[in-house]
Homo-oligomer: A and B are copies of this chain.
């Protein structure tokens, strides 16, 4: 629930943490901004709710949750004697609050599919620059912290690193809303164990087991939720829908859609387009899951055989069958599937490429080649978790697990 004390103090009900206090007026104003409110309509986990029906939580809720953890982390570090100014504190809160502002509909599932030339991080930076004009210089600092361009590296690491408050929030939140109990991490304890050495974020030695648990829980969430084979299937279908719709628009067809959706379906905008035409970002700033899925519902009835079949399947949750393998899918298998789908659905060899989909998914539990998680011992020694864990050895942690998948329709579509 949102309650306002004075003009701009708020308490927000969050089932994950109980209450979240918002004490800064500027933070309050950013949350009220229509671009941030848009995140209420972008689900954190795309189509995952087709497998875990509770997973309808949004980037809005996650961003505020991550900011809540940031408040706690900064308090802890401050109580341990690490210094940062009021502005640095506020800018760090802004950076984490807005770290996902550049996400579009269905976030990761459609990354670089709606706006093909820009990643969500690049879009985030465009938004931050624009908000600077409205909210002032503090955004300069926020951008530096977001981009890793500030001397107090730990502030950036709290926003983006292997132990950032982004991950600490989303693992806990995704676990809560999916109901996957094993994904629970002890974010409280991890934050309590945070320390800073030479401007870098590290973890006190007695937090080792919580870190191991965090790494294992993250991996479990990847394979059991984020890369669940039925979720993969739904996402692959969504990708094909967008691909086909873009193809049809390019081919001169007019399909149903909001004006904004059509704008982005018909054009391939570059970063320069965004810089030259400020209204373009305004438009993107209104696009959300509703534009996309409502179009899909309507396209299910359109004339194009391919698009309508794909959309009907998504709407009715008639998802493609997915097979997961440890080795790449062979050309023979792909051909075999294509042939049987062609004969079932009377498709052309071109069209079948929208229905037999293969690819790979990968996850490494931990990447210690970049910046790892450093453990601080009482004698001042700093060691990478991979060196000190007797369970999660370097070899295991550095291993990237890659799985290969092929998706194809289960059986003739039910088109009643």
> Interface residues, chain A, CB within 8 Å of chain B?
1-3, 11-16, 18-19, 32, 34, 37, 40-41, 49-54, 56-58, 60-61, 64, 176-182, 184-186, 188-189, 192, 206, 209-210, 212-213, 216-217, 219-220, 223-225, 228, 230, 256, 258-259, 286, 288, 290-291, 293-294, 297-298, 301, 315-317, 365, 390-393, 395-396, 399, 401
Copies of this chain in the oligomer = 4
A293 proximity list for chain B (CB < 8 A): 41, 290
A51 proximity list for chain B (CB < 8 A): 1-2
Of the residues B206, B259, B316, contact of A301 by C-beta under 8 Å: B259
Shortest distance in angstroms between A363's beta carbon and chain B's nearest beta carbon? 10
Once bound together, how far apart are the Cα atoms of A56 and B55, in whole Å?
9
Once bound together, how far apart are the Cα atoms of A393 and B396, in whole Å?
8
Shortest distance in angstroms between A235's beta carbon and chain B's nearest beta carbon? 16
Once bound together, how far apart are the Cα atoms of A315 and B3, in whole Å?
20
A19 close to B316 (CB less than 8 A): no
Once bound together, how far apart are the Cα atoms of A346 and B13, in whole Å?
37
Q: Which 8 A-B pairs have the closest CB atoms?
A: A15-B179, A294-B294, A56-B56, A182-B213, A13-B179, A34-B316, A290-B294, A209-B220
A188 proximity list for chain B (CB < 8 A): 18-19, 181
A212 proximity list for chain B (CB < 8 A): 216, 220
Of the residues B192, B219, B291, B301, contact of A297 by C-beta under 8 Å: B291
Shortest distance in angstroms between A349's beta carbon and chain B's nearest beta carbon? 30
Of the residues B49, B177, B210, B315, contact of A34 by C-beta under 8 Å: B315
11 residue pairs A–B, Cβ–Cβ below 8 Å: A15-B179, A19-B188, A34-B315, A54-B57, A182-B185, A182-B186, A182-B209, A182-B213, A212-B220, A258-B294, A392-B396
Q: Which residue of B lies closest to A414 (CB)?
A: B34
On whether A290 and B286 interact (CB within 8 A), knowing A19-B188, A219-B391, the answer reads: no
